[in-house]
Amino acid sequence: MAFNPSFIGKSFVVSDSDARIRDPNNLAAVTPKVILKGTKVLVTEVKTLPTGSKSRMVFANTTSESGSDVGWTSTRNLQGSFINETLDLLPAGTSVDQKGPNAAWSHGDFLGQVDLVEIVDNGLEIERMTLTTVEPYLMMVEAAKAAGISVAINSGFRSYGEQDLLFRGFKQGLPGFNLAAPPGMSNHQNGIALDIAVSGGAGTPVYNWLAKNATSFGFVRTVSGEPWHWEFDPKKAATAKAQGTCKAAGISN
Ligand SMILES: [Zn+2]
């Protein structure tokens, strides 16, 4: 399955009035040069810099629409802040490590190695989802956008190692750690589960749009009491749709 990052060939408007050009040899450093607000640019390349334990800041190398070099700038300076843009493909490769970075799990069972795609989330952090989930997800985002609804995720795939860390922190009662399932047991280790920013849940415009339309794109609610948790499961979604609901069998409220 071929993969092209979503930003390729797309035009972005510079939306910040102080959109600094970065030093190409040191993206952490701003230069005195700015890209004028309102300028339309194309993004040719993306790089990230770590800004903490989890988050990375995304930078774009830009050109004018006619192709002349403009320079590197933070994607936060671009209209939409790069939310829902896909970055790198993280291929499953040939690893047999069931606890490796591409290993998918569900309910304690190892599912296999999956191709993952990086995508910018609602909080400008980088999440992952399976390659097969990305295309229907972005189609859903576009359809929502046409209806005036912004769909973005807060959370996607978690690797075995990441879940292990969260679980240990929770068990030890470390500050900043919440209730977490043991590694292999989290419903975010399958790569098809997405927490969508529904800001409050049932009844909000985003939720209502999803409740009506998500099953048409193969997404279905799979956890009772979690209106933000959706999974790309075309079979379950089709069944739910035929029954006039957005929830898989047995899922309440
Ligand atoms: Zn979830």
Cα 182 to ligand 1 centroid, rounded to whole Å: 15
CA distance 16 to 207: 30
Which residue type is seen at 134? Answer: V
Encode pLDDT of 24-59 as tens digits: 999 999 999 999 999 999 999 999 998 876 678 999
Centroid of ligand 1 to alpha carbon of 223 (angstroms): 8
Q: What is the pLDDT of residue 46?
A: 96
Rounded to 5 degrees, φ, ψ at 44 are -105, -20
Crossing angle of helices 131-146 and 205-213, in 10° steps, is 120
Instruction: Tell me what pLDDT residue 15 has.
Output: 97
CB 45 within 8 A of CB 30: no
State the distance from the centre of ligand 1 to the C-alpha of 193, rounded, in angstroms.
6
Q: Give Cα separations from 75 to 35, 70, 88, 184 (angstroms).
A: 12, 14, 15, 34
**Residue 233 pLDDT > 80, yes or no?**
yes
Please report the pLDDT score of residue 2 as a whole number: 75
Structure-token pair, residue 176: 């900043």
CA of residue 42 to ligand 1 center, whole Å:
34
Ligand 1 centre from 62 Cα, in Å? 35
Two structure tokens written together for 252: 């309440």
pLDDT for res 202: 83
Q: How far is the CA of 232 from the centre of ligand 1 (A)?
A: 12
Cα 247 from Cα 236, distance rounded (Å): 8
Question: What is the pLDDT, as a whole number, of residue 56?
Answer: 87
pTM over 0.85: yes
Residue-wise pLDDT tens digits, 86-136: 999 999 989 999 999 999 999 999 999 999 999 999 999 999 999 999 999
CA of 38 to the centre of ligand 1 (A): 37
| Ligand 1 mean position, distance from CA 231 (Å) | 9
Average pLDDT, the chain: 95
pLDDT band at residue 1 using 50, 70 and 90 as cut-offs: low
Give me ligand 1 centre to Cα 97, in Å: 24
Is pLDDT at 199 greater than 90 in this prediction? no
Ligand 1 centroid, distance to 229 Cα (angstroms): 4
- Ligand 1 centroid from CA 242, angstroms: 24
The CATH architecture annotation of domain 86-242 reads: 2-Layer Sandwich (3.30)
For the chain, give every domain's residue range: 11-77, 86-242
Ligand 1 center to 30 CA (angstroms): 37
Strands 40-50 and 86-90: unpaired
